[in-house]
Amino acid sequence: MPSLSEALVVLGLGDRLVGVTAYCVLPPGAFAALPKVGGTKDADVAAILELRPDLVIANQEENTARVVGKLVEAGIDVWVTYPRTVREGAELLRALARLGAAPEVEARVVEPVFAAIEAAERRRERRPDPVRTDRSGPAEGAVDPAAARLPPPVRVFCAIWRDPWMTVGADTYIHDLIELCGGANVFAETISSVEPVPGPGAGDERTSGARNRRYPIVDRAAIEAARPEVILLPSEPYAFGERDREELLGFDCPAAVGGRVHCIDGSLVSWYGPRIAEAIRVLGPLLANV
């Protein structure tokens, strides 16, 4: 996993690595001398076994049960990670640090991530509930005028694939990041009515109902009907670019009318670990209600 290998290097544990996937490319040059064992979904089990690792770190979405099962059958310890919230991503970073990072390095890398999350949570929690239920203010069920003046969270569509369009539902890391940064995921509760096609995300959930809920397929009509005010186009897993942005600017939705269709670094929304603090810093202004 690219995010996990990067985290290990940042934590000063790069010398513990004996092999990585072909997609592990950051930090630049950090893995040039290491054997590559294939991709995240087609890892070469024989190549991994030849490296005689003490531990293989995998991910439930990105790596297949077939590969993990064969490694376990061969007697390899496999740590299967599965963070579905930003805080779980930070906890995973802390757990990786406990593999042997120096205390001062752990503090330098991990503490700013938790500080950024806690600051974002405070900003989100500062928004009062527009319906007062206590007996000290307006009558129960009445709208608090101060809260009513606050703008609602910005409605966000984050694309992760196209042909067909795919997005994120609830119970995903990207969804939680959007919500943490002040947005409201317009497809949080959407369930695909069609089977997923080969694309990003959950390896063995690809044809399951869970995958349909977590990574639903949508079309232009659904996107326009959802009325997103901001559209995010990450550079991965699909390499969205300016041509895609121009196309979406032609859609009939507030994000297109307001020009709030943004191409962004995909690692900020999908690489949990040391990038979390930067993701919050970058996404916060993009999702601000203006």
Q: Is the pLDDT at 129 greater than 50, yes or no?
A: no
216 sits in which H/E element: none
Considering only residues 205 and 289, tell me which one the structure prediction assigns the higher pLDDT.
289
Cα distance between residue 229 and residue 185, in whole Å? 10
Domain regions of the chain by residue span: 2-120, 151-286
Q: So what's the pLDDT on residue 123?
A: 86
Of residues 27 and 126, more confidence is placed in 27
Average pLDDT, the chain: 87
Q: How many Å apart are CA 141 and CA 270, to the nearest integer?
A: 39
pLDDT computed for residue 132 by the predictor:
36
Relative orientation angle of helices 2-10 and 86-97, to the nearest 10 degrees = 50
Q: What is the pLDDT of residues 88-107, one digit of tens each?
A: 999 999 999 999 999 999 99
Tokens of 18: 């004996």
Band of residue 125 on the pLDDT scale cut at 50, 70, 90? confident
Residue 109 binned pLDDT confidence (cut-offs 50, 70, 90): very high
* Model pLDDT for residues 271-290, shown as the tens digit of each residue: 989 999 999 999 999 998 76
- Residue 20: pLDDT over 50: yes
**Of residues 57 and 146, more confidently modeled:** 57
Length of the chain: 290
Stretch (H or E) spanning 273: none
In 3D, which of 57, 99, 102, 103 has the Cα closest to residue 80? 57
Query: What is the pLDDT at residue 207?
Result: 40
Q: Which of 87, 23, 96, 102 is nearest to 55 (CA)?
A: 96
Q: State both tokens at 133.
A: 């239920």
- Would you tell me which CATH number, out of the four given (3.40.50.1980, 3.40.50.620, 3.30.230.10, 3.65.10.10), belongs to the domain 151-286? 3.40.50.1980
198 falls in which pLDDT band (50, 70, 90)? very low
pLDDT of residue 124: 82
User: Does pLDDT of 114 surpass 80?
Assistant: yes
Stronger pLDDT, 127 or 230, i.e. the higher one: 230
**Average of per-residue pLDDT across 10-25:** 94
- Lowest mean pLDDT: which of 13-22, 82-91, 132-141, 142-151? 132-141
Specify the DSSP element, H or E, that contains 108: helix 103-125
**Single-letter amino acid code for the residue at 80:** V
- Closest by CA to 203, choosing from 63, 79, 80, 38, is 63
> Mean pLDDT throughout 241-263?
98
* pLDDT at residue 210, rounded to an integer: 54
Domains 2-120 and 151-286 share a fold: yes
Q: Phi/psi of residue 140, each to 5°?
A: -55, 130
Residue pair 92/98 in contact (Cβ under 8 Å)? The answer is: no
Give 35-55 pLDDT, tens digit per residue: 999 998 999 999 999 999 999
Give the pLDDT band (50/70/90) at residue 204: very low
Listing DSSP states for 36-73 in one string gives B---SSS--HHHHHHT--SEEEEETTTS-HHHHHHHHH
pLDDT band at 26 (very low <50, low <70, confident <90, very high): confident
pTM: 0.84
Q: What type of residue is 197?
A: V
Structural class in CATH, domain 2-120: alpha beta
Euclidean distance between CA atoms 1 and 93, whole angstroms: 13
